[in-house]
Structures are given as C-alpha cells and as structure tokens.
Chains A and B, each alone.
Chain A
C-alpha cells in the first residue's frame, strides 16, 4: 500500500454550548486504507465525521485534501469533493423506489427536457447490486425492504459516483453476519480501487477483518492512531475507556428453575411458522438468526403487538390470551423493542415520565398522579440502573444510547414483569454501557426473572445466554444448551439454513 495521504485534518477544534466536542484533533487518511474511528458514544467521532461531511463547521484548524486546504461549508461541497457519508440513521425515502433513492439528488436525465431516465437508473442500480452480490429489485419500494436491505441500499448509494472517501457510520449495526461479509467484500474492492474508507463500529471483533489503522478518540481528544495488526482488542478497549474493562461474568446457571412460559405453534403468515419453545424461570434464552429470520416478529406476537394467526401461549402451565401489549403486560411480560427511539421511548418526555409509563397506577393515588411517588420511583430506578444524568426530569432525547436503553429497562422493571424480552439490547451502544447491560441482565435473572434476548451479535448471544435458539426463515432451526461448548461456527450453519445438531 502506498502511503499517499488524501485527507489531513490538523488541530481541529469544535465547541458546542458548554462543551468542547473536539479538542485539537489530528487525523490523517491514506489512499486505499480502511481507517477506523473508535471511541465510546460521545467521544467526538460523530462530530468529526460531520465536519468532513459538511454537517458541522469547525471552529478552528485546517482540513487539507491532497495537500490543498479546503473549506467544507456544507454537504454539497463535501459531495463535490468526492466525500460520501453513510449515516447510521437511515436517510432513505420510504415511498420511493430503490433506484430513485439510490440516485436521489443525482438523477440521471434524458438529454431532452431534463426528464428523469427511470430505466437507465434502474439498470445502473441493478449493476451496482450485482457488483455488491445482493439481490434487490431496484423497482421495489424502499418501505418494503428490511432494515438490513435498507442499509445495503444506503451503501449502494455511495457507490453511484466515484468517490475518494467513503465514511461509514456503524454500517453493520443492523445487518446480519452474511451481509456483513458482503459488505466487507465490497469494502475490500473499493480499497483496491484506491478509495479511502472511514469506518465507525462498536463491534470490535469485526475490526481485525477489515481495518488497517485505528484512531482512538476519547472525550473529544485523539488518543492515538495505531496499526490494527499491532494491537489486541483488549489494548484498544483500554485506549478507548482509559482503563481495562472487567471481563463480563459468565452466565450463571444455578438459579434456573421450572418452566415459566411455553409458546406453542405460533404462526404468522410466512414470517413466523409453527414456532414453539419454552422459557425457564431465571434463564437467559438467546435467539440467534439472520435479520429477517422472524425473531423480532415472534417476540412481537408473544407480546401482543401483532395478532398471531395460530398458536398458544402458556404461563405457569395455564393458557393465556394475549391480543394486545396491555394484556401481555398484565401477564407480566415486558418488551424492549429493537428500535429504541421509534418504539421504546417518548423522546420529548423526561426520564421520570418514561420510566413510569408502563405502570402509572403504581405512582397514583387512585385517579390522581402523585408526582412525589413518581419522582421517588424514577430516582430509585436511575440510581439502581446507573443512568448518567444530572436530573430525573431530563428529556430522554438528550441521553446517550446506553442510558436510553437503561431508562427502558427501568420502565419494565417498574411493571414487576417476570418475562423480559430484550430485542437487540446493545445495538448502537458503546462498550462500557454494553457491559453494564449484561451485568444488569445477569442481576435480573438472579432475582428470578426470565429473559429472552434477540441479538444479531453472535459473540453476544454466546457470552450472555444460558440457552440458544436459532431461527431461520420463520422457523426454529435448532437449540443449544450453552454449556460452554457452543461456538459461532456451530450456530452459523443453522442460521444460514443448514442442518445441525438439535440437543
């Protein structure tokens, strides 16, 4: 690899009211490298890439592109300079076709009358997908696509024009391992073409596969840039957090009790087919599978958020009717949804009001709300869950992802539910807060609660669950006791639809 520097950022400073988001940051990007920006939420990664993409303006410092100073005043300039950004939050238009989204703002037009050339766009989109080795019909509407497919479309968008720098903000946070491999293949190809890639991810395991160099950030400062092959993951974590992370506890098994929940033959269209499983008291049951395998849907059916076509649910051996979340909650089931912001929180409300939302009667005197009781409960939760905030009235939209997740956990704990469904509990959450959430989950099962954890992060499933169920294309494809011998290699074939041992 040559070491030609494409982008150099020197002494970048950026302050927001009351806080120095970036403090004298130096950053250098070479041609044809994959450069990871690593740091916990709030370390300043997003601010830095937003300065590159023109979403924020630096206060001071110099940005050099090919040695020439540039002033990236807005997103247009950034794009014209050949910088493309794939944001973590999807920015596609649901009601438009895949091809239209890919060419949004850069439509191909016929020479006469400036009419949008749909066919040509669809043809080119098809080519891009073929190159990506992904089967997506450019004519379909984006809203019909799964989250993972949307992420791939988002990536395809950046491949339309020749770019010299592509910024990817957590591209794998919502896609399956298979798609991740495809993504890595694409990244390698771009690399070989000399494109430089800035890669942000919280999944440390995957970095070694793809990343050349890493710049670690902490508290708005750059801690240093290292070659991936020279460091271990533990060293990286130490750089990120400024301390060594304690190893998470292995899942404890000695408090697992009798069967609490039985799910029998639940079906829902062809999305969930004839799914049956049991959940024991005090157990963490992991659900592995590819995105689109029907895991979240099965959980939503169990929680009454969708109406099942067929199937039964038994609690303590007694059949129960669950047709709405209200009934599920009455039966002691809580659900932490996959998409925190969309389904889990009222962002414009305070921490306290979000925590009490699922069990307001608990903080009422008869018909009337007791602010006093509410504050007390919220204070207890915030303390018990270690939510970082200076006030329980703080609006949850101002909290980091990890703290938002804790608020949702607090909400369900207040309902005294016995079964907690965690759907992707650590997505988009930084390493430190992740460890805290695992710890919390372990604490909960020790109190006799049962947890179902859906996760697309295999190491997480293996690390945190007592038992693992694997789903594939709407069906339950296998089950393992986690006796310490489970490996990713053992689970993978079942996820992908192969045959495996059912213990």
Chain B
C-alpha cells in the first residue's frame, strides 16, 4: 500500500502546482463555471482512460479508442433517428463498443496478433466503417431526453461527471476486489507464470479489450449528447489522451503495475492543462506541442523513478539480515 501512495505522490504535486499556478495566472480559472467545465471535459477522457487502464495493465495497448468512440456515436445517432426511444440507442452504442473490443481481444489473445498492430488495424477499420455508414455526414438533432440523460446537469453538476465517477468506482472495485481484477494484474506482471498458475489468460485478456470498448461506447453516449451530433470523424486524438492519462497516472506500459486512481489523476492533470492553456490564450498549435512534451517528460520521470526503485531491489537481495533469515530461524 505504502509504495502505491508514494507512486502517486509525484502526480499529486504536479496537479496541486498546476492548480496554484493557474489560479494566480488566470482570473477565470477559479470560476465555478470553469471548474465545472474542466470536469465535464475530463469526464469522457477519464471513462475511456479507465478502459485503457485495463488493457495497459495486461501489458497491451489499444490505439483504436478514438474510432471506436466515433463508430459507437454514429450507431447511437442512427438508432436515435429510428424513433424507438432512447434506451435501445444508448444500449446499442455501448454494446457496439464492446463488440469491437471483443474483435480486438480475439485478434490479440486468440490469434496472437501484437496489440499494437491489431488495434492499429481496428483504428482504420472502425473509422472507415463510421464514415461509410454515414457517408461521411454528421447526424444531427436528437431528442431532449437523450441530451439530458447523456450530457445534462443535475443541480448544476454535469451528469457525465457522475457517470465518470461511477465508472471509476466500478473499475476500482473490479481491479481490487475481484478475481478478474487480480488476474489482470497477474497477466501483466508475468503472463507465463499466470498461465502456469491455471489462469485463463486468453479469456481475461479478451475481456480487457471488451471493457475498453465498452468505455468507448459510454464515452460515445456522452459525446453524442454533448455535441447533439454524431460525427464519424469524432474522437481524433482520444488514444493520445487516454494513454497519456494512464501512463502519467503511474501505470507501467509493461503491465502489472498501476491503478485507476492514478489514471483519474492523470486525466485531471491533462484536462487542467488543456483548460489552462486555453485560458492563457495559448495558440492551439502550441498546445499540442506542450501536451506532447508533458507526456514524454512524465514517462521519462516515471522510468527514472522505476530504475531507481529497481536498483534498490537488486541491492535488497544482498541484505544479509533478510536472506539469512531463512536459515537462522532453524
């Protein structure tokens, strides 16, 4: 437990520092409206980053989250226009995300295609499919109930924020208090040891991608409601934000180590950064440069911290008191 807290310490400091800096440098940062806006913007990326956390914990990667979100969004848009209520469209959006995740999972776990390639392919296929079935057109005009349920406010709190919190809590629960969650970590930590311990590696891995797809579906519901539009070109750059949130949040790209709490903080940090850059009137072109640099330096510091920790692990093996204990206790 203790090392987990220590791991998150760095990003906590970064969030606080950025918060203080923006409070001072921008008169509007602390406005309630602005803070709520940040939360709203962070909601979608948090939800998708949660799915991405499952995948990365198994030492995989999902590059297709953007197009998956777009495709789900398009499906929601099309079904909403069928006038069959809003329940089925919402459900089908989420399920379609899960289905595409299932395809990713089968390609990777069963057919042993490297995750990078499988999801790179899916990235193109899902985007193409979204464009194809809409003929590249945006779908507009959705029922008010749908827009309220997906992106409205309750007592001035954006509903997407509530969804994000629910997703985060469910994910924390699954990862920490279920067999499935433990298996996710075990597979990421050492796939062969997990297999030889009788864990159904293919099943668990496949489900990690399904979960990631489902979170894209949920993200799509919110996005569609917020924009009141389903765009086949939506979600560009989502994989960047999601992967960045996961990695900045301290999850190891090698898998087996990390937490949803970290991912949440990572998403908040990126959201605050984007918001702050807007408030400070930084050119959107320059923003991309800043975000990219922040991601790379976060990973750099993470690697540095890990290498320090690992070298102390090696030293740990030399501790006479510890290693000798086994024989002294005769």
Q: Please report A residues at the B interface, Cβ cutoff 8 Å.
A: 16-21, 40-44, 46-47, 218-220, 241, 243, 303, 305, 324-326, 328-330, 335, 337, 342-349, 353, 357-358, 360-361, 364, 367-369, 371, 386-389, 393, 395, 397-400, 402-403, 406, 411, 415, 430, 432-433, 436
Contacts and interface: CB of A to CB of B under 8 A. Distances in A.
B190 A325 contact: no
Given A342-B192, A368-B177, A433-B327, A357 B315 contact: no
A19 B318 contact: yes
Nearest to B313: A397
Interface of B: 1, 176-179, 181-183, 185-186, 189-190, 192-200, 256-257, 312-313, 315-330
B320 A16 contact: no
B190 A346 contact: yes
A330 B198 CA distance: 9
A21 B177 CA distance: 39
B194 A357 contact: yes
B178 A367 contact: yes
Contacts of A400: 317, 322-323, 326
A347 B189 CA distance: 7
B196 A367 contact: no
A115 B176 CA distance: 55
A368 B175 CA distance: 11
A337 B185 CA distance: 20
A95 B78 CA distance: 51
A19 B320 contact: yes
B231 to A, nearest CB: 39
A430 B325 CA distance: 12
9 contacts: A19-B319, A21-B315, A21-B319, A42-B317, A42-B319, A361-B179, A388-B323, A415-B198, A436-B327
Contacts of A371: 177
Nearest to B176: A369
B320 to A, nearest CB: 4
B308 to A, nearest CB: 11
Given A305-B196, A349-B185, A353-B182, A41 B323 contact: yes
Contacts of A347: 189-190
Contacts of B199: 326, 357
Nearest to A328: B198
Interface SS of chain B: helix
Contacts of B324: 40, 42-43, 219, 388
Contact of A369 (B182, B315, B316): B182
Contacts of A21: 315, 318-320
Nearest to B3: A395
Given A21-B319, A46-B318, A369 B179 contact: yes
A337 B315 CA distance: 25
A357 B322 contact: no
A17 B316 CA distance: 9
A433 to B, nearest CB: 5
Contact of A220 (B177, B320, B325): B320
Nearest to A16: B315
A40 B198 contact: no
Contacts of A364: 179
Nearest to B316: A398
A42 B182 contact: no
Given A337-B196, A342-B190, A388-B323, 19 more contacts: A16-B315, A19-B319, A42-B323, A219-B320, A303-B196, A324-B198, A325-B197, A325-B198, A330-B198, A344-B193, A346-B190, A346-B194, A348-B257, A368-B177, A388-B326, A389-B322, A398-B316, A406-B326, A432-B326
A17 B312 contact: yes
Nearest to A358: B197
B204 to A, nearest CB: 12
A43 B327 CA distance: 12
Contacts of B193: 342-346, 357
Contacts of B181: 369
A42 B322 contact: yes
Contacts of B316: 16, 398
A335 B196 CA distance: 8
A42 B318 contact: yes
Contacts of A346: 185-186, 189-190, 193-194, 256
Contacts of A361: 179
A435 to B, nearest CB: 8
Given A325-B197, A358-B198, A364-B179, A349 B186 contact: yes
- 8 tightest A-B contacts by CB? A42-B323, A432-B327, A388-B325, A346-B189, A400-B323, A329-B198, A16-B315, A358-B197
Contacts of A303: 196
Given A348-B189, A403-B326, A368 B313 contact: no
Given A369-B178, A369-B182, A43 B322 contact: no
A337 B330 CA distance: 26
Contacts of A432: 326-327, 330
Contact of B178 (A44, A368, A403, A411): A368
Nearest to B203: A326
A384 B3 CA distance: 27
Nearest to A400: B323
